[in-house]
Amino acid sequence: MIFSSLTFLFAYLPLTLAVYFLAPLRWRNLVLLLVSLFFYGWGEPVYIVIMFASILIDYIHGLLVEKYRENDKKARWFVAQSVIFNLLLLGFFKYWDFLAANLSLLPGVQIPQFGIPLPIGISFFTFQTMSYTIDVYRRDAPVQRNIVDFGAFVTMFPQLIAGPIVKYKTVAEDLNHRVNTTEDFALGARRFCVGLAKKVLLANSIGALWDAQLASQSVGELTVIGGWLGLFAFGFQIYFDFSGYSDMAIGLGQIFGFRFNENFDYPYLSASVTEFWRRWHMSLTSWFREYLYIPLGGNRGGTVKTLRNILIVWFCTGFWHGASWNFILWGLYFAGWLILEKYVLRGVLEKTPAWVKHFYTIIVVFVGWGIFAMEDLSVCGAYLANCFGGAPLWSALDGYRLRSYAVTFLALILASTTLGKTVWYRLPEKLRNVLTPVLMALSLVVCTAYLVDGSYNPFLYFRF
Amino acid sequence: MTKAYSRFLTAFFCVFLGGLLVWHVLLPDREKSETENRTLAQAPEFSWTALVDGSYTKKVETYFADQFPLRDSWTGLKARAEQLIGKSEFNGVYLCGDTLISKVETPAEGMVNKNLSYVDRLAGKTDANVVLGLIPSAAEVWKEKLPAGAESWDQTELLAQSSVDFQSTLSAHADEPIFYRTDHHWTTLGAFYGANALLEVLGKETLKENNFAPEAASDNFNGTLYSQSGIHWLEPDTMEFWVAEQGLTVTSWRTGMEEPASLYDRTYLEKKDKYSSFLGGNQPLCVIKNENVTDGSKLLLVRDSYSDALAPFLAQRFSEVHLLDLRYYRAPVSAYAAENGIGDIAVVYSVQNFISDVNLVLLTQ
């Protein structure tokens, strides 16, 4: 099930809220576990089994790590087991076919491919459960002795299928001692409405333009302007889709009494690629920093080791987004820019005017989206070549599309800045109190209209 | 945030979501949507197999959306919102002032040449004279009405293959209402011009406009484009019947059996799908006999729905006009022509159907 669907909004969510808030406090984790399993099973009935296996194995490993805490060797071994289990799970479902296909290219190697559909959200929940055993081992989080509470953490539907990646230690306290207040509910509902509008009205809307540009490319009619229009369309689509989804997740979490960390911080305002990655999908970058980059030695082992670590982390970051070469290339592309900024450009950027830095960052990032969006590297290469002059400058069709999407683009650009937020908090509180329900109603009503019409409403993370 | 205000926002959110759920549950399910002119999904039956393979939950989603309260108002609201932000394309339909024009998608590769070759092969299989008539869509004839730069597949090259030049005929009258504003079909006026173009090619005397007394059949016709686009705020179309029914006998084979029919089925005028009042809409086979034409000439129209409005005019110059729809009629066309002593076969299709129809292969049987 996805949040931006009629069945979620007008059947699953009201019923879930009713059951959850009618249940006595001590039953609420059980309710959360059950409704989350239903949520997951709705789209993937068979894969509920994976959920059960994941809960059981990580739960037991947490207990084992705690039990053998005095025997570090054994405790480490159990951490390793848990990590290996999760990576195998991810490896089998997500990467097997990719590895098999590529290894089979070697002479004499023949590995069968299974073509199994990817369980939705597997990249998110395996990372979350991995963090649990590691945190228990590092004493960053207490062990969870109640399997229902642990199951509620693993399956928690607000963040189950598209993040943010919630570390166990972030919600450990809330899991057993949360307080549900109406203020949290109201704030959460408000946040949810913002996210819904971002996803349905902004992301879906501009996503259709990207698809149109890609289609133009395939019939050889893409122009330079059209190419960039497409890159911007996709870059805005993925940002508003993803951050909209995160807003909905954070809002729903708050409704149920959980505080998740923020996942996006106006990434398109960044003045360098390094800054972009501090503001984009923060739960993923911080996960890799904490559980991969720093354990590898971070930047404390000299230049060669630092370079190695950066490359490893960004290879993994890219590969995490999908089992395909373009994602690996996308990760390494950013590794390249980050290394360049760290060792070469730092001094230069310091002396560069702000607008140039913003321009440079936007170009690097949106070209990156081109690599991200086009799995077929030959298509990707041809598309980017068009963008950089390998095509006529523009066509009448571009003019038509630009006119059709001008208002949408304007909304996207404004929504990418802090302008809305600044203006909002300048308004007198009374006015804000009147406007809040009006805007929430507007978001719900207009989004419902778009969803009923059966408009374009893709789920972009089926490869994650 | 004060407690009272939090409670208000919380209640507001819950009432909106829960209220629509309750409404949805209480609202009786509809069989079909008149506005969208299609049957709506009904509550799916539960089975474990359907649940495991995922088809059950998908059906529930479709059912939930199809039976959503105020469905037509929501789709209308979306179209309004899109218009507000400057869009001129609505689900594949361009809004051009007071007129809706359907966008023609690029056909699948090879499709056009395949269908053209099937018509050629029919000509080789029958003694009858075979002509091809391709009716340009509004997007071609009214090209200059489209939003500047808007794309629609270029039909010129294909239209050059048509032995009946509907394109020039219609273009010459482009400033007249030859297509409906809310429907993809040609109007009775458009069909009249089309009929003369076809009659000329078949060597028949053309028709005079002043020999007909147009009857206003409906002034409240909201067509297929009205449904497809969600644009519900345009003035409805008017629909006219030109050809009088006297002297014409219509026979239909709807269920494989011969049954009497009529040139106009006026019961459709009370429904949404008013265009189907011409000959009573889609059917495998239909024959119009004109007792005033005594030369025994017989025309076979291999057709799509555009011919429903066209055939009454053609019946003025032929003893018999046979309308055969390949989507429903499965026997060989050449055999049908031979058995019925057909002199002329006209394969008449709108471009939009010709480039996407997969049944034309039946012509080669």
Query: How would DSSP label each residue in B60-97?
Result: HHHHHHHT-TTHHHHHHHHHHHHHHTT--EETTEEEET
B60/A contact by beta carbon, under 8 A: yes
The nearest CA of chain B is from the CA of A335 a distance in Å of: 39
The nearest CA of chain A is from the CA of B28 a distance in Å of: 17
Query: Per-residue pLDDT for B37 more than 80?
Result: no
Nearest 5 degrees, angle CA A349-CA A355-CA A361? 60
B3/A contact by beta carbon, under 8 A: yes
Q: DSSP character for B207?
A: P
**Chain A residues lying within 8 Å of B14, measured CB to CB:** 14, 17
Looking from the CA of B87 toward its CB, the CA atoms found within 13 Å total 23
CA–CA separation, A35 and A13 (whole Å): 10
Element (DSSP H or E) covering residue B248: strand B248-253
> Which whole-number Å values give the CA distances from B365 to A66, A249, A448, B55, B354, in the listed order?
78, 59, 50, 38, 18
> What mean pLDDT, rounded, does chain A reach?
93
Minimal CA–CA distance to A6: which of B193, B75, B50?
Answer: B75
How many percent of chain A have pLDDT more than 90?
82
Among B23, B85, B146, which would you mutate to test the A interface (most chain A Cβ atoms within 10 Å of its Cβ)? B85
Query: Per-residue pLDDT for B49 more than 80?
Result: yes
CA–CA separation, A105 and A107 (whole Å): 6
Return phi, psi of residue A161, to 5°: -105, -10
Here the tokens at position A463 are 């490869």
Per DSSP, helices labelled H in chain B are 3-26, 48-52, 55-66, 71-84, 111-125, 138-141, 156-159, 166-172, 188-201, 224-229, 306-314, 333-339, 351-354
**Predicted local distance difference test score (pLDDT) of residue A314:** 96
- Dihedral of alpha carbons A116, A117, A123, A125, sign: negative
**Predicted local distance difference test score (pLDDT) of residue B256:** 80
Please answer whether residues B127 and B338 qualify as being in contact, where contact means their C-beta atoms are separated by less than 8 angstroms. Answer: yes
B85/A contact by beta carbon, under 8 A: yes
B59/A contact by beta carbon, under 8 A: no
Among B10, B15, B25, which would you mutate to test the A interface (most chain A Cβ atoms within 10 Å of its Cβ)? B10
Say how far residue B23 (Cα) sits from the centre of its chain: 34
B296/A contact by beta carbon, under 8 A: no
- Give the pLDDT band (50/70/90) at residue B32: confident
User: Where along chain B do its domains lie?
Assistant: 3-70, 99-364
The nearest CA of chain B is from the CA of A211 a distance in Å of: 14
**Predicted local distance difference test score (pLDDT) of residue A434:** 94
Rounded to an integer, the average pLDDT of B4-28 is 95
Minimal CA–CA distance to B20: which of B81, B65, B56?
Answer: B65
Query: Per-residue pLDDT for B330 more than 90?
Result: no
Return phi, psi of residue B253, to 5°: -120, 80
Rounded to an integer, the average pLDDT of A235-261 is 95
Portion 297-356 of A in contact with B at CB < 8 A: none
- Give the pLDDT band (50/70/90) at residue B255: confident
Q: Do A452 and B71 touch (CB under 8 A)?
A: yes
Portion 148-167 of B in contact with A at CB < 8 A: 148-151
Rounded to an integer, the average pLDDT of A193-213 is 94
**Predicted local distance difference test score (pLDDT) of residue B36:** 77
Q: For A135-146, what is each residue's pLDDT tens digit?
A: 999 999 999 999
- Give the pLDDT band (50/70/90) at residue A454: confident
CA–CA separation, B150 and B147 (whole Å): 5
> What mean pLDDT, rounded, does chain B reach?
92
Question: Closest to B68 (Cβ–Cβ): which among A398, A452, A455?
Answer: A452
**Predicted local distance difference test score (pLDDT) of residue A219:** 87
Looking from the CA of A120 toward its CB, the CA atoms found within 13 Å total 23
CA–CA separation, A337 and A361 (whole Å): 10
**Predicted local distance difference test score (pLDDT) of residue A464:** 66
Among B2, B7, B16, which would you mutate to test the A interface (most chain A Cβ atoms within 10 Å of its Cβ)? B16
Per DSSP, which regions of A112-229 are E strands?
Answer: none
Query: Per-residue pLDDT for A462 more than 80?
Result: no
CA–CA separation, B102 and A306 (whole Å): 59
Report which residue type is found at A9.
L
Question: Closest to B10 (Cβ–Cβ): which among A182, A401, A403?
Answer: A182
Rounded to an integer, the average pLDDT of A408-437 is 95
B65/A contact by beta carbon, under 8 A: yes
Element (DSSP H or E) covering residue B344: strand B344-350
Q: Do A186 and B6 touch (CB under 8 A)?
A: yes
Looking from the CA of B281 toward its CB, the CA atoms found within 13 Å total 12
Helix, strand and coil in chain A, % to nearest 5? 75, 0, 25
CA–CA separation, B26 and B23 (whole Å): 5
So what's the ipTM on this one? 0.89
Query: Per-residue pLDDT for B137 more than 70?
Result: yes
Minimal CA–CA distance to B278: which of B257, B303, B306?
Answer: B306
Rounded to an integer, the average pLDDT of A203-212 is 93
Rounded to an integer, the average pLDDT of A8-29 is 95
Q: Do B149 and A399 touch (CB under 8 A)?
A: yes
- Give the pLDDT band (50/70/90) at residue A455: low
CA–CA separation, A209 and A215 (whole Å): 10
Closest residue in A to B64 (Cα–Cα): A7
The residues that bridge with B324 in the sheet, in sequence order, are B285, B302
Please answer whether residues A30 and A148 qualify as being in contact, where contact means their C-beta atoms are separated by less than 8 angstroms. Answer: yes
Nearest 5 degrees, angle CA A133-CA A134-CA A137? 85
Tell me whether residue A321 is one of the annotated catalytic residues. Answer: yes
How many percent of chain A have pLDDT more than 70?
98
The nearest CA of chain A is from the CA of B66 a distance in Å of: 8
The nearest CA of chain B is from the CA of A230 a distance in Å of: 17
- Dihedral of alpha carbons A86, A88, A91, A94, sign: negative
Please answer whether residues A253 and A158 qualify as being in contact, where contact means their C-beta atoms are separated by less than 8 angstroms. Answer: yes
B46/A contact by beta carbon, under 8 A: no
Q: Do B21 and A14 touch (CB under 8 A)?
A: yes
A220/B contact by beta carbon, under 8 A: no
Among A452, A455, A462, which would you mutate to test the B interface (most chain B Cβ atoms within 10 Å of its Cβ)? A452
**Predicted local distance difference test score (pLDDT) of residue A43:** 83
Report which residue type is found at B128.
A
Q: For A111-136, what is each residue's pLDDT tens digit?
A: 888 888 888 889 999 999 999 999 99
Q: Do B74 and A444 touch (CB under 8 A)?
A: no
Instruction: Tell me which residue has tokens 């053609």.
Output: B314
B35/A contact by beta carbon, under 8 A: no
**Chain A residues lying within 8 Å of B139, measured CB to CB:** none
Give me the catalytic one of A61, A177, A281, A321. Answer: A321
Q: Do A454 and B6 touch (CB under 8 A)?
A: no
Portion 171-190 of A in contact with B at CB < 8 A: 181-183, 185-187, 189-190
**Chain B residues lying within 8 Å of A403, measured CB to CB:** 86, 147, 149
> Which whole-number Å values give the CA distances from B87 to A430, B90, B91, B95, B101, in the listed order?
35, 8, 11, 9, 14
**Chain A residues lying within 8 Å of B51, measured CB to CB:** 45
CA–CA separation, B154 and B146 (whole Å): 13
**Chain A residues lying within 8 Å of B10, measured CB to CB:** 182, 185-186, 189
B341/A contact by beta carbon, under 8 A: no
Closest residue in A to B57 (Cα–Cα): A42
CA–CA separation, A58 and A61 (whole Å): 5
